[in-house]
Amino acid sequence: MQNRRKFIKLSAFGIPMLSSFGSLSRDFTTARGQVKPIVISTWDFGIAANQAAWKVLSTGGRALDAVEQGVHVPEADPKNQSVGYGGLPDRDGHVTLDACIMDELGNCGSVAGLEHIMHPISVARLVMEKTPHVMLVGDGALQFALENDFKKENLLTKESEKAWKEWLKTAKYEPVMNIENKLYDKAAPQKLPGNQYNHDTIGMLAIDAKGNLSGACTTSGMAYKLHGRVGDSPIIGAGLYVDNEIGGATSTGVGEEVIRNVGSFLVVELMRQGYSPEDACKEAVMRIIKKKPDIAKKIQVGFLALNKKGEYGAYAIQKGFSYAVCTSQKNDLLIDGKSYY
Ligand code: GLY
């Protein structure tokens, strides 16, 4: 089943204008892929993140710098309870962050279970650029960050601590779908009951003026997870994969199902075989649904992909998965991606 699409176009002054489109969607689909540079990212908070990335891309900067700068925005936003500062904690009250980054040369860096550092994506980049390793976890990742002059901070905001304490009253671990949209609703930012929790990640993919691709993915992971749980977001091939010859893909939602299917790598490999970005995302979603139909009914997983030509697409298990697109022509678009249900 395909859900209706909507888009928000930002005016020159950044004021969103909401429209629905039926026939317009044809033109828009045709226009996809003609424009570079381009940056796309998951969820509504992708709009602000894309704008930060665009500052880099529009001045001839490298896609790698763009995605790092872009995802810094939700990482530093205390209102965003699924990424970085202000993220909902694990079962024991620790905010633990997962992030990874990939460049056009196939280099990658990753951190998992990192505490006290506002910008895990920048630590991941440093792992990529300054160490012989790909991934650092937990205390080792923190030690590495502190040795490289990252500041140690308390990432647990009062709002997230309050939500956690409320959750402790029942301590039931049940993911709620598409919580990001509600959490980020400016009209009602903190109205979720404390026993609900989210799993929504920012994944960002960009092509710069030279035609090079990079990607970044960062999250505080599943709220109230077991201490030590790692999701898909820091795992190269699961939460993110970039191949500069083909394209890139990233994921959001319940990470365990993405890891089981090596989701982002699968999407890129399908694009290598000739699938469009949207069809590749759909096939990756279908793998999850076919293997675990009963679980899939109750969870959200979404994939977002960008190919080397600048064509993009997305597909999710459940409706409600949005993504943002920024190019010189389209300014910013928020698209309600297609879904199975
Ligand atoms: N996709 C984020 C997570 O599962 O942690």
Domain of 72, CATH number, reads: 3.60.20.30
| Catalytic-labelled residue, pool 201, 218, 219, 327 | 201
Residue 305 domain boundaries = 34-335
pLDDT at 87 over 70: yes
Instruction: Check: CB of residue 319 under 8 Å from CB of residue 2.
Output: no
pLDDT confidence of 334, banded at 50, 70, 90?
Answer: confident
Cβ-based neighbour number of residue 152 at 10 Å: 12
Residue nearest to atom 4 of ligand 1 (CA): 255
Question: Is 159 inside a domain boundary?
Answer: yes
Q: Residue 229 CA: which ligand 1 atom is closest?
A: 5
pLDDT at 178 over 70: no
Residues with Cβ within 8 Å of residue 247, at least 6 apart in sequence: 205, 213, 268, 271, 277, 305, 306, 307, 308
Q: Name the DSSP letter for residue 231.
A: -
Amino acid 209 reads A
Residue with structure tokens 């505490």? Answer: 115
Question: Is 22 inside a domain boundary?
Answer: no
Query: What integer pLDDT is reported at residue 176 of this predicted model?
Result: 60
Nearest CA to 76 among 194, 220, 251? 220
**Ligand 1 — pocket residues by CB below 6 A?**
199, 201, 219, 221-222, 231-233, 252-255
* SS3 call for 215: strand
Q: Distance, CA 22 to ligand 1 centroid (Å)?
A: 33
Residue 219 among the catalytic residues: no
Question: Is 97 inside a domain boundary?
Answer: yes
Query: What integer pLDDT is reported at residue 177 of this predicted model?
Result: 59
Outline where DSSP puts E strands in 16-72.
16-20, 38-42
Question: Is 14 inside a domain boundary?
Answer: no
Q: Residue 256 CA: which ligand 1 atom is closest?
A: 4
Q: Distance, CA 200 to ligand 1 centroid (Å)?
A: 7
Which position has the higher pLDDT, 306 or 9? 306
Question: Is 192 inside a domain boundary?
Answer: yes
For the chain, the 3-state helix, strand and coil shares in percent, each to the nearest 5, are: 30, 25, 45
> How many whole angstroms separate alpha carbon 251 and alpha carbon 300?
11
Query: What integer pLDDT is reported at residue 35 of this predicted model?
Result: 66
Question: Is 19 inside a domain boundary?
Answer: no
Q: Residue 254 CA: which ligand 1 atom is closest?
A: 4
Phi, psi of 323 (to 5 degrees): -145, 155
Residue nearest to atom 5 of ligand 1 (CA): 221
- Give DSSP secondary structure letters for 305-339: EEETTS-EEEEESSTT-EEEEEETTTEEEEEE-EE
pLDDT (mean) for 38-61 = 96
pLDDT confidence of 142, banded at 50, 70, 90?
Answer: very high
Question: Is 190 inside a domain boundary?
Answer: yes
Number of domains in the chain: 1
pLDDT confidence of 71, banded at 50, 70, 90?
Answer: very high
Question: Is 266 inside a domain boundary?
Answer: yes
Query: What integer pLDDT is reported at residue 199 of this predicted model?
Result: 57
Q: Distance, CA 201 to ligand 1 centroid (Å)?
A: 6
